[in-house]
Structure 1
């Protein structure tokens, strides 16, 4: 207690010294610009509305002051501390140019310019009687710009008039057609009676009308052809808006166009464009509405029929225009895709469409070296060799043959020394269309795909066992839009066979049913489906989400036909292996809340349920849920939690067996903030556990010890059985790679007696024994979610 005043005095002194050090390097006679403050004076606005308006206006002020955290300008301090480097390399140069930030001087601030910006902003939002003034205050060589904005009343929209109200019989037919099309679009107008006047909304309305007209055939129309007249004299603080077509609009812009000829150049060369169009007449192939100039028959015409939305006689539509381009690009076959619309030589109201495609090399070989990390705290490397044929059957089919090999090592955790080696291969064939006896219509911008895959993997877990895994899939992938994606595997077959099981593993697995199942043959077959929705690509949104739901139905039809019932001992084999029968679903929901330009709050909840029945008493090991590790609950070793309140009690020199379950609940939340340069920080809390659907069977091992995972089954006490951990971390964001370092520790241990599971009172960073038992370091690549 006696040292606290001294501590506070020292802290205050350091802050004062720190602050002074940032001003003593300033040019003589200048001051450090600390930012601008806007005060909005308006008696009609609520306090909340005024604050929001002031914040938005302050974001318009230029220049921006030096960045600060809690009032401390670390980047400026580092800039001054580094000094002027003598050469353009080395630590000083890096600190000054990459980490540091030069001072923003008050002499760089133009008060009048900023005042004009605020004036324009106010008037563009309907405050036509705004008065703006600017001043500044300074102290200790620091200056703040002060702006006062007196808005006055905001003008509201009284009436909105579209051309339908002013149609004249004296106008020519093209004018009438255009104005009628504009009038028909008024139903969804952004300009609403009673709304505040807003120039940005008027601009958006012009864009909306133009987009509507483009989808009605007005190819040459432009938003600049529209004028919105504003009359502010019609009433007290009210305006009338009138949408009109400018007099100088050309006849070409007023006309509706239809599609005439569709000409396709599938082998277009960017380096010799003139030569591309000089093919002999007999090289032109006609297929439905298309003229195809492809003397080498590189592609079958079927791909154009499935990707192009235009047909001869169609009215031009920007929607179909963009959909066609998007689908062509998504084929993954063309390096460049370009199209051009030209007036027809025969009829003035028709357009000829020209498509120019530059194909990618048909065959290619790619070698990849990857750095990998997974939720089991294993880090390693993998080498992939991929051979691809992008036009296997001349309809943009993608055939890929891959071989791979890798090594994974646990950096921290009990499984050090039990390294994992993986080798294998995979062959897949993707058709850019649905291959189905049922015709499925598709009109999205994304090409639907049918995929067939066969793969083999040999996985060797040193000193324990090896697994041979064979897999075959046939299914469909499609996207409704950029946010939604579906994957349906009509058939997904997985066969796993063990090999080279060691005596060490046998001795530990003896009498332990859960460990024995890991090295048993497994046969899984049935349909799987997943749905993904995300809008995280919309960077300006304050709230974004990610959701993935998956469903897995294995062996259900076979179990129904054979009457398999493991509880009665009626287990059915297929090819000498008991097939798995279960229904499983998993839901992964993530929410991202942007708090500021450099910080966000990320949260995730995962709920998974697998119900084994019929031929199975629990989920097969490779389909079970696991929890803990670098991408899960980071305060606990990978796959070491649960199920339920059970805990694996193994020798410290032995490996830690994976703990799997049939039910999973996991919750995570993480605060992320930019610290400086490429360094980001994070604070996080994780919680969750796994459980068994059925009670673990009782077994006695060689030492006469009960091996059943007591307390592992799911019950109504599941919330009291959650493991909880917290910690902090750093992320090194190199754009092409994010290196993550997390340090975490548990604050709730589910295996302890009920009432003693919270362990806040045991936290002791000064104790080496506590640190050894509880601190968990995670090294990973990428964000956990």
Structure 2
């Protein structure tokens, strides 16, 4: 801390400047426009991105990287190729350059014209003070032009008819704002549309756009366009021109003549280097037979004899990459000879490493234990049995330890004792196709079908109370319904719970509280589930939504078997779970250039039916911890307003607090702090707020306030807030720390549980009672 303070307060960043040099301190962008206030922030950032000179990096008002540079000024002056300069660990002074400012004005004008503001007024002002320059870019955008008409002009009648019928897909729609990016996208869309009809050689150079700004938009069905100045908006007509060029092949339909797949490719190697095999008209050339050829054959949509289409080209590339076993997939398409409409296709594959290793670590602290940690390690064989089958084996181990501070005669580390531990070994085997007793040709290969098998065994030990073992297995299917939608169906899964080494204290709690007894009893679970996921990130990476919906049922098949064979679900016979569970998870991401908002709304309800009164333990909901309501440690909060500490139920403290219903809301603002090593390490910050809780479906003796009642929903919600630091290591690993503070406690009756008004963050005892520190890998959502 002393070093940081000294660094921030170190000598002036202007100390080495010449007499006519000024340090660029700040760029300010002022916009005068009818752009909505909510859009001006991102618009201002977009304008700022085209300004050529950016000030030095600042932290707490100090140019910390420049200060580091000045500490070794002579060294960096002599060694301009120093690694600390190349990796952006230190920064030389950004000296104001008036020529770069003028070029920035040109960039801003070009940006505005591309956005549809054809007559912008842009100027810059500079203020000099104490060897520092502050620039202000003042922008008057002028009128935004709106598209009036879109016309297609083409000499080839076939191409003309194709484009006319495809205009329903265009984003150049009348009465929408003109945008050069949309025009560029339309150019690419037209090329892809014609290439999907076999016009392989048709390119962007065969299209021209002409803009006529003399028109005026008047839409009598939409009066809003007559509210502006002069009661009319500026309009333009767009002419899309496609004329025959000297290259006549651009207007000829091409077909696939030959397809060759190189399983390995050695640049410059003679063809005799490879062995050769032909399957379904496709030639495979290989050195090492590391993958079954049929797997590749099923993913190739470019087949000999068919008309070339851009979609088949793109889907083939996508399907091969989705196998996740290739480092590189490259497809080249060329005419078989000059002037030919037949195309030779070469698919070049470069194998990736066969095995992947992964690690996940989580560290937490909380009310009932001092520290908890969990480690997950996995190994993945991406080409199991040479079929591009993906086998992942995951091992996990976690412990929770407490500190007995009363044992003052013991060393610090000997005061800790084991609170609980858990371990697991699980596997997942995924096949790149549907494994069904039906003809595979009935399914479109663009669905990216997958079949998966999974299973494992998990162990939980609560010291001095019980051991819980669970065995699970399942089988299911995944596929993509579209670019943005994915489905997952499990026709069957099974779990078996076995409780052993039950202490006398825990047995008494099970006997006195039915909810605990029903959750922890030895149970066989059989069921099926279905999940739907929608992700719009590819549609708009700056503002997108992820929606997950799930439905699960347990016990239906067992009920049928029970009807036939009269299985016993009571006494010493087989106990099986009966429930229906529904979940939703909605996430919204709004990103600017470097910062952004993330929101999540999660909910779920499990309804036991027939003779069941609660969900099995492994199907119940929990809150708290690094990925949930961060002000509480995992599995401590709830259910409802019940709290074991408040109600003096000390024998319940060791029990995971679980529920049949869950609601959770999260909001997080993420922003950059420091970037070093040319972006290899980014230190980002976050401000967050979490709210949520769990509830039981039915009232339970000895657990007042634990069941869900709609009129108590607001008072039952817990809330926390805090800040966090994220260490982003090259985009491959994010190490996250969160400091979360309890703001609303549902078990406190006063003020509906709000305690934020009593916050004393500087008070050590208050932090001990109300703060939860989390360390985890990856973002919380």
- Mark yes or no: TM-score above 0.5: yes
Pairing 1:138–2:145 present = no
* Cα shift readout 1:322-347 (whole Å, capped 9, x = no counterpart): 10121122123444433332324699
Asked whether the 8 Å contact 2:664–2:691 carries over to 1, the reply is yes
Aligned to 2:613: 617
* 2:738 corresponds to which of 737, 742, 746: 742
Q: Distance in 2 between matches of 1:98 and 1:345?
A: 51
SS at match of 1:719: helix
Q: Distance in 1 between matches of 2:97 and 2:22?
A: 8
Distance 1:50 1:450, change over 3 A: closer
Distance 1:598 1:410, change over 3 A: farther
Q: Distance in 1 between matches of 2:203 and 2:278?
A: 36
Shift of residue 621 of structure 1?
A: 0.9
* Cα shift readout 1:336-365 (whole Å, capped 9, x = no counterpart): 43333232469922223333445557xx56
Larger C-alpha radius of gyration, 1 or 2? 1
Shift of residue 84 of structure 1?
A: 3.5
Q: What are the equivalent positions in structure 2 for 1:278-357 lying under 5 Å apart?
A: 284-287=277-280, 289-292=281-284, 302-304=294-296, 306-344=298-336, 348-357=340-349
Aligned to 1:668: 666
Shift of residue 660 of structure 1?
A: 0.9
Pairing 1:402–2:393 present = yes
Q: 471-480 or 481-490, which moves further after superposition?
A: 481-490
Aligned to 1:702: none
Asked whether the 8 Å contact 1:82–1:96 carries over to 2, the reply is no
Q: 152-161 or 524-533, which moves further after superposition?
A: 152-161
Aligned to 1:430: 430
Distance 1:64 1:654, change over 3 A: same
SS at match of 1:162: strand
Aligned to 1:630: 626
Q: Distance in 1 between matches of 2:666 and 2:773?
A: 17
Shift of residue 69 of structure 1?
A: 7.1
Distance 1:105 1:759, change over 3 A: same
SS at match of 1:29: coil
Asked whether the 8 Å contact 1:563–1:614 carries over to 2, the reply is no
SS at match of 1:489: strand
Q: Distance in 2 between matches of 1:599 and 1:483?
A: 24
Shift of residue 546 of structure 1?
A: 2.5
Aligned to 2:51: 61
Distance 1:85 1:624, change over 3 A: farther
Q: Distance in 2 between matches of 1:552 and 1:653?
A: 33
Pairing 1:261–2:258 present = yes
Asked whether the 8 Å contact 2:24–2:94 carries over to 1, the reply is yes
Q: Distance in 2 between matches of 1:545 and 1:657?
A: 36
SS at match of 1:622: helix
Aligned to 2:688: 684
Q: Distance in 2 between matches of 1:778 and 1:347?
A: 66
Aligned to 2:705: 711
Q: How many residues align?
A: 729
Asked whether the 8 Å contact 1:464–1:504 carries over to 2, the reply is yes
Asked whether the 8 Å contact 1:572–1:579 carries over to 2, the reply is yes
SS at match of 1:625: coil
Shift of residue 368 of structure 1?
A: 5.4
SS at match of 2:56: coil
Pairing 1:117–2:107 present = yes
Distance 1:328 1:124, change over 3 A: closer
Distance 1:188 1:589, change over 3 A: closer
Distance 1:573 1:313, change over 3 A: farther
SS at match of 1:572: coil
Q: 371-380 or 26-35, which moves further after superposition?
A: 371-380
CA RMSD of aligned residues (A): 4.3
Q: 289-298 or 770-779, which moves further after superposition?
A: 289-298
SS at match of 2:472: strand
Shift of residue 667 of structure 1?
A: 1.7
Aligned to 2:239: 242
Q: Distance in 1 between matches of 2:205 and 2:529?
A: 51
Asked whether the 8 Å contact 1:225–1:249 carries over to 2, the reply is no
Asked whether the 8 Å contact 2:22–2:131 carries over to 1, the reply is yes
Larger RCO, structure (CA 8 Å, separation 6 or more): 2
Q: 113-122 or 685-694, which moves further after superposition?
A: 113-122
Asked whether the 8 Å contact 1:501–1:519 carries over to 2, the reply is no
Asked whether the 8 Å contact 2:615–2:660 carries over to 1, the reply is yes
* 1:31 corresponds to which of 18, 22, 29: 22
Q: Distance in 2 between matches of 1:527 and 1:80?
A: 62
Distance 1:39 1:742, change over 3 A: closer
Q: 482-491 or 416-425, which moves further after superposition?
A: 416-425
Asked whether the 8 Å contact 1:216–1:317 carries over to 2, the reply is yes
* 1:390 corresponds to which of 383, 386, 400: 383
* Cα shift readout 1:639-681 (whole Å, capped 9, x = no counterpart): 1222122222468799632111111112222233222344333
Asked whether the 8 Å contact 1:66–1:73 carries over to 2, the reply is no
* 2:719 corresponds to which of 724, 735, 755: 724
* 2:656 corresponds to which of 651, 655, 658: 658
Gaps of 5+ in 2: 218-233, 406-415, 676-681
Asked whether the 8 Å contact 2:582–2:605 carries over to 1, the reply is yes
Instruction: Tell me the TM-score normalized by structure 1.
Output: 0.80
* Cα shift readout 1:124-174 (whole Å, capped 9, x = no counterpart): 55666666555533233332345566777666666544224xx4xxxxxxx
